[in-house]
Amino acid sequence: MHKRFIFGLFGALALTTATFADSSVQGTTLLEQISEAIAELAERSKPATVSIKCTICAQGQEYSNPFDMFGDDFFKRFFGQQNPQGQQQQTSGGSGFLVSPDGYIVTNNHVIKDATQVTVTLDDGREFQATVKGSDSRTDLAVIKIDTDNLPYLNFGDSDKLRAGDLVFALGNPFGLEGTITKGIVSAKGRQDLGIATYEDFIQTDAPINPGNSGGPLLNVRGEVIGVNTAIFSRSGGYMGIGLAIPSKMVQPVIDQIMNNGSVKRAYLGIVLQPIDKELSDAMNLDKADGVLISDVVKGSPAANAGIQQGDIILQYNGKPVKNVTKFRNDIAMMNPGQSIQLKIMRNGKPMTLTVELGCQNDGEVISAELTQKLGIELENLTPEWASRLGYSSDVNGIVISKVKQGSPAAMAGLRPSFLITGVAVDWNNQKPVKNIGEFDAALQELGDKKYIILIVRHQNFQRYYTIKLN
């Protein structure tokens, strides 16, 4: 019995050792297979990833640090500044990737913005001067082209199929180190309201990315582009584990329009939305805080023509539930002008369905509407009734601030209802007087992407400049 036990024990040990050895071999084989797959992905993808260098004329302009997006050290753009203040030219750089064999390249708008010369370096070392085919500041995307053919290129994947935890790979030129690939996972999807672009639906990843990666591709395990690397969250200017990429679902329709038409046209509904929080839901006696509230309808807009009213609650569009203001706004903007959609709304406690034919965004109108909404003000022309109520004589011109949203940038700057906007300072040598909302809109359009808006405001017998910082 004792001998049999000893024999059985050594037999078990021998079997365990053999099993462990076999498991170790299998584990090594699996690691080798994973390593081989990643190496093959890099070999296929790197030739289609390019380095972009831009020359920007800066004569007469105040030097600005492109990493300083908001005057603090949180979000950092991915392109480096190499020339000191006072020189006439500045050099910036980033990444991009080929999407066709005849030289079309996708990158970020902020990489090539204001560039007088764009140079593309391929993975094989060849250099080309590129032409900017078009850009879209609202999604921070651009398309450039080089004159050659038979080039390797990348295909797009479906970013909607991504899940948190999926493996992803970032390619680009961090700190000018060309042909760099890093690995990580999808940390989250649908990151919005970050103030980086007008339309945001970012993929968050922990794949190491740094300044210079901007405009490069984010790939899935099949080597398909599921995002365009755009920004990082950083307190140091370098990698801290949070990178943001524009999802391919948003990228594809934008670059298709740029490649085909040279510009982007977006659908337009003509409503101002706000989320329904618990307090608002309770005040309106709603069963639950579903949908988004229409706080205003633009006169003559597609929404107004379809019978949509202020106070309506949008519950669904084309059968899809609406739970988020930003996502609904993005989805509408990515549709084609002229397309019809069905909106299920709640009005006075009763559900109803309306069909709306979407219009086309007018850039000027949308820019001014977005700015006034960001400022947190509502405006009205100075009618004789308003002038009489505020005590102004007939020779006074301007537009009246009728409402100021609590906690808004306008409120923080000290603006109040009944104040009169008499002008907009585009810059110190270009101060535009405004007599009506149309002139105010035109002045706002000249601001471009400035971080600040300077309003010339009158209150009773005093007039002063108000500086308001925008995201």
Tens digit of each residue's pLDDT (9 = 90 or more) over 90-145: 888 899 999 999 999 999 998 998 889 999 999 999 999 999 999 998 899 999 99
Question: Using an 8 Å Cβ cutoff, are 360 and 340 in contact?
Answer: no
> pLDDT tens-digit profile of 255-278?
999 999 888 888 888 887 778 777
Q: Is 140 a catalytic residue?
A: yes
246: confidence class by pLDDT, cuts 50, 70, 90: very high
166: confidence class by pLDDT, cuts 50, 70, 90: very high
- pLDDT at position 154 is 95
* CATH number for the segment(s) 267-360: 2.30.42.10
Identify the helix (H) or strand (E) that includes residue 468: strand 462-469
**What is the pLDDT of the chain when averaged over all its residues?**
81
Higher pLDDT, 415 or 63: 415
% of the chain residues with pLDDT over 70 = 81
Strand, helix or coil at 236? coil
Q: Do the two domains 32-262 and 371-469 of this chain adopt the same fold?
A: no
- The residues, any chain, with a CB within 8 Å of residue 338's CB and separated by 6 or more, are 357, 358, 360
Q: Of 257-271, 275-289, 293-307, 336-350, where does mean pLDDT reach its minimum?
A: 275-289
- pLDDT at position 229 is 93
Question: Using an 8 Å Cβ cutoff, are 376 and 409 in contact?
Answer: yes
Copy the structure tokens of residue 264: 């982007």
471: confidence class by pLDDT, cuts 50, 70, 90: low
- pLDDT at position 426 is 80
Instruction: Tell the CATH superfamily of the 371-469 domain.
Output: PDZ domain (2.30.42.10)
Considering only CA atoms, which of 229, 213, 223 is closest in space to residue 95? 213
φ, ψ (nearest 5 deg) of residue 319: 80, 0
Residue 356 scores a pLDDT above 80: yes
- pLDDT at position 238 is 64
Higher pLDDT, 333 or 18: 333
> pLDDT tens-digit profile of 194-234?
767 778 889 999 888 888 888 999 999 999 999 999 987 76
φ, ψ (nearest 5 deg) of residue 246: -75, 125
3: confidence class by pLDDT, cuts 50, 70, 90: very low
Measured distance CA(317)–CA(292) in Å, rounded: 11
Q: Which of 45, 92, 136, 140 is catalytic?
A: 140
- pLDDT at position 24 is 66
Higher pLDDT, 108 or 286: 108
Q: Which of 45, 92, 95, 214 is catalytic?
A: 214
Considering only CA atoms, which of 134, 129, 98 is closest in space to residue 116? 129
Residue 68 scores a pLDDT above 50: no
Q: Is 214 a catalytic residue?
A: yes
Q: Of 64-73, 391-400, 433-442, where does mean pLDDT reach its minimum?
A: 64-73
76: confidence class by pLDDT, cuts 50, 70, 90: very low
Average pLDDT over residues 299-322: 89
The matching CATH number, chosen from 3.40.50.720, 3.60.150.10, 3.40.190.10, 2.40.10.120, for 32-262 is: 2.40.10.120
Question: Using an 8 Å Cβ cutoff, are 214 and 230 in contact?
Answer: yes
| Domain residue spans of the chain | 32-262, 267-360, 371-469
Residue 322 scores a pLDDT above 60: yes
% of the chain residues with pLDDT over 90 = 33
- pLDDT at position 197 is 75
- pLDDT at position 127 is 94
Q: Which of 110, 135, 368, 441 is catalytic?
A: 110
Residue 19 scores a pLDDT above 60: no
